[in-house]
Amino acid sequence: MISTDTLELLRATVDDWRRAGESVAIVPTMGNLHDGHLALLGEAKRKAMRTVASIFVNPTQFGPGEDYESYPRTREADLASLESAGCDLVWLPSVERMYPLDPPFMVQVPDSLSDRLCGASRPGHFDGVASVVLRLFNQVRPDVAVFGEKDYQQLVIIRRMVEDLSLDIRIAGLPTVRESSGLALSSRNAYLDKDERSSAPVLYRVLTEMARALRENTDFKALRRASLSRLEAAGFRPDYLEWCSAETLGPIRAGRPSRLFAAAWLGRARLIDNVPVD
């Protein structure tokens, strides 16, 4: 496995693969890897002959007062897991490499995608995500990029960006990897203490039970009120709990796929999750 912070080596390696007729997949990450990331790498390996994982804690997607400085940085352990998972190249750009200009050029995500769900309480977050992902796509020039469905709003925004900017890259989404309790794997689960960890699976439980009830035509507003109370009783401070189109993140449309989306604070951790309704 090659690991590099040099754009020239990254490009030369990917060019060699291309000359040999090999396809390339990227798994963008911020490091602190867990089994969810390794599942994304597994999917990347199924979709292409060569895999690149990037590790970059992206400052532009963190707002003031968020956890950019304290975000867990575990490079040596991450490199070891990627190597044993069979990754071909790890791209480790510095902040200066990723953002050579100050101020940097930034992608502005349309409000219709970014002013809701996580975007409503994290203004500018998705502009930062789109800006770094576009840079990664231009640096690596992959055929395929793999993202997890846990960050579903991110996945929809990236799909839309690729479509709107005519990028020649396929976006693959992978279902959320969960603990046996149902808790979605996330680097931020490390912020949970022992008691919070035992309450954390309630978020997924509430969402799956809501989805089942919605399929049986239960009234959403009443269900939402009861679910928010359940979350609060389990110690959560809910941020949002919404039922949206899985395609546009806007209002649900008859006969089209929809999902339930939730974010809630539990102690220091802001947990997010989503499940399909139909």
Query: Of the listed 26, 27, 36, 37, which one is catalytic?
Result: 37
Q: Nearest approach, Cβ of 130 to ligand PAF (angstroms)?
A: 9
Q: Nearest approach, Cβ of 133 to ligand PAF (angstroms)?
A: 6
Asked if 29 interacts with ligand PAF (CB under 6 A), we say yes
Q: Which of 13, 28, 155, 156 binds ligand PAF (CB under 6 A)?
A: 28
How big is the site for ligand PAF, counted in residues (CB under 6 A)? 10
Q: Which ranges of the chain would DSSP assign to H, the alpha helix?
A: 7-19, 35-47, 75-84, 95-98, 111-114, 118-121, 125-140, 152-164, 194-199, 202-215, 220-233
Closest by alpha carbon to 248, among 258, 238, 236? 258
Q: Which of 58, 139, 186, 274 binds ligand PAF (CB under 6 A)?
A: 58
Q: Which of 118, 133, 269, 277 binds ligand PAF (CB under 6 A)?
A: 133
Instruction: Report 111-130 residues binding ligand PAF (CB under 6 A).
Output: 129
Asked if 132 interacts with ligand PAF (CB under 6 A), we say yes
**Which span (13-21, 28-36, 102-110, 193-201) binds ligand PAF, by CB under 6 A?**
28-36
Binding marks (x or -) toward ligand PAF, 151..190, rule CB under 6 A? x--x------------------------------------
Burial (CB count within 10 angstroms: exposed 0-12, middle 13-18, buried 19+), residue 8: exposed
CB-based contacts of 62: which residues, under 8 Å, 6+ apart? Answer: 68, 71, 125, 128
Instruction: Output 44 or 252, the one with its CB closest to ligand PAF.
Output: 44
Q: What is the DSSP letter of 123?
A: T
Q: Nearest approach, Cβ of 122 to ligand PAF (angstroms)?
A: 11
Cβ contact 250:172 at 8 Å: no
37 annotated active-site: yes
Q: Nearest approach, Cβ of 114 to ligand PAF (angstroms)?
A: 13
Asked if 262 interacts with ligand PAF (CB under 6 A), we say no
Instruction: Output 29 or 274, the one with its CB closest to ligand PAF.
Output: 29
Tokens 């969810």 correspond to 36
103 prior amide bond cis, ω within 30: yes
Distance of CA 34 to the CA centre of its chain: 13
Closest by alpha carbon to 33, among 186, 136, 152? 186
Instruction: Output 28 or 93, the one with its CB closest to ligand PAF.
Output: 28
Cβ contact 262:150 at 8 Å: no
Asked if 271 interacts with ligand PAF (CB under 6 A), we say no
Q: Which of 30, 134, 192, 231 binds ligand PAF (CB under 6 A)?
A: 30
Cβ contact 40:147 at 8 Å: yes
Task: List the structure tokens of 152.
Answer: 């579903």
Active-site residue set: 37
Q: Which residues bind ligand PAF (CB under 6 A)?
A: 28-30, 58, 61, 129, 132-133, 151, 154
